[in-house]
Amino acid sequence: MLQHQGSARTPAPCPPPPQPRGAPLPSAAGAGRRHVAVRRGCAPAASFRFSATVPPPFSLQRRRREESRERGASRGRGASPRRGMRERCRPRGRREAGGEAAAAAPLREQRGAPAGGGRRAMEEGAADLRQRRKQNCTESDKMAPEERNKENSKLGRSPKYLLIQRFAKLFFGCLAAVTSGMMYAVYLSTYHERKFWFSSRQELEREITFQGDSAIYYSFYKELLKAPSFERGVYELTHNNKTISLKTINAVQQMTLYPELIASVLYQASGSEEVIEPVYFYIGIVFGLQGIYVTALFVTSWVMSGTWLAGMLTVAWFIINRTDTTRIDYSIPSRENWALPYFACQVAALTGYLKKNLNCSAEKFCYLLVSASTYTFMMMWEYSHYLLFVQAVSLFLLDSFALAQTEKVHEVYKIYLFSLLLGYLLQFENSALLVSPLLSLVAALMLSKCLQMNMKKGTFLSRLLKIMYIYLVLTITLTLNFLLKMFVPHKENEHLLKFLEVKLGLNTTKNFTMNWLLCQESLQAPSQDFFLRLTQSSLLPFYILVLIICLFSVTQVIFRRICGEPLKETVKLEDGRIGERPEIVYHVIHTILLGSLAMCLEGMKYLWTPYVCMLAAFGVCSPELWMTLFKWLRLKAVHPILLALILSMAVPTIIGFSLWKEFFPRIMSELSEIQEFYDPDTVELMTWIKRQAPVAAVFAGSPQLMGVIKLCTGWMVSSLPIYNDDDLLKRNENIYQIYSKRSAEDIYKILTSYKANFLIIEDSICNEVGPVRGCRVKDLLDIANGHVVCEEGDSYAYSKYGRFCHEIKMNYSPYVNYFTRVYWNRSYFVYRINTVISFQS
């Protein structure tokens, strides 16, 4: 046989491969395979390709029939016996996958044949590989139930029983989540009714409960409902010249009135005009969104821990710490109350999207939910892109340490870009979105994507690039943001940068607006009462415990990654590696960043505290977290897995009972306690304006009061409580001069420059006695005007003019020449601005 094949020398015979016990004797096809192996030389078993592929066992009789059939077919085609032997000896898998030409290429090269067939085979193999990659997702979806069925058969459980168990768990969990949200919405509605007695008040008294910027938002909602058509109402809002004197504004862009547009459309399209009053419909939508907010937090904690008991504990902590989790009690129409529920839904979907071993249908659902909620959130709040920037930084750090799938993270970046683009177009080319740090960061990350892919190769250069990656991204981000601010004209939010400079001590100023913002309670550092309340509800101690365990676990994972150890595809309970779950790492980083902001600005606690509730509830209900702790402690007396399962049920149960015993009576007492919002002076003032003031009159006063006047009367005002426009901020500062030590002529010039006809003095501001001296409006005005004199360590205001709000009440010249009192009560003094020809000295 060897001489027939033209061999020059006889190599040593190769030992036959070990046959399994009970296997049939080798057939002629197997002998042919050995002859081909002999011709090509004996190779080690590890690198011997033909002999490594053993066909599945057949019966001897069936093999002989197939062999004779193949031999006859090859002779019929004129093929040589040697070629037929090679055809028979080739493994079946290669013939089916296009590997026939690739297997025969070395033999053709020995005979001098062209290698075109080998190239064709490589192309076919590459196409087959791409096809298999596309089918990986479907195969994983098919294999997962098969693997579960195998495990269940080992445990003696039928697939039908497990399907019913999973369905019951999902059904009751969803039912608990929806019920929690609905009960919270009902609780807010009941509490609001008890606090303001809405149902027993007239429309004017109801509208007075909206204060400051909330009154402005609701006033535009009323205007939309009064418009003859929705299109006409939108046009009047985008070309509004009936709100602020001498100024035409695009109220939809300026104040982000998309919530009011949606609410008005729903009210009219649903036919609710004859069923419910507009104010009830409006606040009902807000309360419903708060219920969705709570439901989203429930689902997030449930997805992370695997038990809806964590969701129940999240809701309990959220409601108990309602003073620090939401501003719904003080300002119902505020933008954050409309926007944060959508952000909570986005975080819940992102949590599921980042999970490992997620099937295709769930991954697509999470991706679509992240996309929809991100875009909606950006349209609801003018500061939403700053919060998304914090989230993007969290994802960037998660991806930099290779703790999540890079493809998923970059898909989220694309969602950011798409949302920014749509927001820019639909918000009337809002330039604030173009110069936002979110756009610069995402663009830098997309530009650095190629560099990050080269980091996966494991070379020395890639390690250097990994070290420089974060620095490179930050450098590109700052450069892009600087260039965008140079070439894109923008005026929005410049006061925020000035505020940050003063807040961080990088600059000092006497500017009234900056100092007034610094004195706001929401922009100061959190008080000790805040931490005391979180501690009394046991939230803060458990959050710190969970955060420390997760941080140590994440640190261990990062060190393993640096040493080259790959992440596990599936983290089991006995592994005790909670830091390898990307969704957990994301929430740890996210809460740390939000907590850092909350430590500087108390207003940020409304963004941080809800996720503190969620993370703490997840931790105490997660067996993996307890198992991670026991892995470090090396418990041997008790089985750690059993103890982790017991504690994950016992600890939240004990916490729940203690919270129920201590705080449930307080919550019920809030609902049973009858409160009353009584402000007769404001009601009398609004009634007088509607009866006595001319329709074309323009009122001047504090911005907060002007918002209420615009809502209750519809009259034009000279300023509004809007803090994202530099021109309106300058107007507010100028009109606040009525409480400063300036002359009547100066005040008259300021008011007539805005075409004001009536001036309203508030006694609460003029005689303000604030808890912190130096933060009263009149003190800030004295500092800005240079009327503060410091002597021997004491400071006091000095001017040759008295305080205007005091002097005008004396009714002497020159004040009576410019202003005439037309109405007053205990809280308000209304003066008509006279028309004079010359000023008196």
Question: What are the two backbone dihedrals, phi and then psi, of residue 797, each rounded to the nearest 5 degrees?
Answer: -90, 140
> HEC states along 358-401?
CCHHHHHHHHHHHHHHHHHHHHHCCCHHHHHHHHHHHHHHHHHC
For range 698-722, the mean pLDDT: 93
Residue 628 has pLDDT above 80, yes or no: yes
Residue 683's pLDDT band (cuts 50, 70, 90): very high
Residues 6 or more apart whose CB falls under 8 angstroms from that of 774 comprise: 519, 780, 783
- Respond yes or no on whether the N-terminal peptide bond of residue 44 is cis (omega within 30° of 0): no
pLDDT at 494: 67
Residues 141, 136: Cα–Cα separation, whole Å: 8
Query: Domain map of the chain by residue range?
Result: 1-110, 285-435+488-672, 680-833
Q: Which residue has better confidence, 80 or 827?
A: 827
Residue 524 has pLDDT above 50, yes or no: yes
**Contact in structure between 107 and 86 (CB atoms under 8 Å):** yes
* Domain covering 680-833 in this structure, CATH number: 3.40.50
pLDDT at 108: 42
CA dihedral sign of residues 176, 178, 179, 183 = positive
Q: Which residue has better confidence, 172 or 559?
A: 172
pLDDT at 454: 56
Residue 812's pLDDT band (cuts 50, 70, 90): confident
Residues 341, 335: Cα–Cα separation, whole Å: 11
pLDDT at 768: 83
Q: How does 83-108 read in b/e, with b if 16+ C-beta sit within 10 Å?
A: ebbbbbbbbeebeebbbbbbbbbeee
pLDDT at 219: 94
Q: Percentage of the chain with pLDDT > 70?
A: 75
Place of tokens 């016996």: 81
Residue 38 has pLDDT above 50, yes or no: no
Residue 103 has pLDDT above 70, yes or no: no
Q: How does 44-70 read in b/e, with b if 16+ C-beta sit within 10 Å?
A: eeeebebbeeeeeeeeeeebeeebeee
78's tokens:
């004129």
pLDDT at 23: 45
For Cα atoms 270, 370, 420, give the angle at the middle one, nearest 5 degrees: 90
Residue 142 has pLDDT above 80, yes or no: no
Residue 2 has pLDDT above 70, yes or no: no
Highest mean pLDDT among 42-46, 509-513, 678-682, 803-807: 803-807
pLDDT at 561: 73
- What would the pLDDT profile of 535-565 be if each residue is shown by its tens digit? 999 999 999 999 999 999 998 888 877 776 6
- What would the pLDDT profile of 12-23 be if each residue is shown by its tens digit? 444 444 444 444
Q: Which residue has better confidence, 356 or 35?
A: 356
pLDDT at 835: 83
pLDDT at 167: 84
- Residue 249 DSSP one-character state: B
SS3 758: strand
Lowest-pLDDT range, 59-63, 183-187, 267-271? 59-63
pLDDT at 762: 94
For range 255-270, the mean pLDDT: 93
Phi-psi bin for 725: left (phi > 0), alpha (psi -120 to 50), beta?
A: beta
- What would the pLDDT profile of 716-730 be if each residue is shown by its tens digit? 999 999 888 888 889
Residues 671, 656: Cα–Cα separation, whole Å: 21
Place of tokens 């445990």: 155
Residue 657's pLDDT band (cuts 50, 70, 90): very high
pLDDT at 781: 92
Residue 113 has pLDDT above 80, yes or no: no
pLDDT at 43: 40
Residues 617, 657: Cα–Cα separation, whole Å: 14
- What would the pLDDT profile of 215-226 be if each residue is shown by its tens digit? 999 999 999 999
- What would the pLDDT profile of 53-100 be if each residue is shown by its tens digit? 444 444 455 556 656 665 555 444 444 444 444 444 444 443 444 444
Average pLDDT, the chain: 80
- What would the pLDDT profile of 415-474 be if each residue is shown by its tens digit? 999 999 999 998 888 888 999 999 999 999 988 876 666 555 555 565 666 667 888 888
Residues 728, 248: Cα–Cα separation, whole Å: 12
- For residue 559, the one-letter residue type is F
**Contact in structure between 1 and 35 (CB atoms under 8 Å):** yes
- What would the pLDDT profile of 311-370 be if each residue is shown by its tens digit? 999 999 999 999 999 999 888 999 999 999 999 999 999 999 999 888 899 999 999 999
Question: What are the two backbone dihedrals, phi and then psi, of residue 88, each rounded to the nearest 5 degrees?
Answer: -70, -35
Residue 231's pLDDT band (cuts 50, 70, 90): very high
Q: What is the pTM of this model?
A: 0.79
For range 587-600, the mean pLDDT: 94
- What would the pLDDT profile of 273-295 be if each residue is shown by its tens digit? 888 999 999 999 999 999 999 99
Q: Which residue has better confidence, 562 or 700?
A: 700
573's tokens:
């309970």
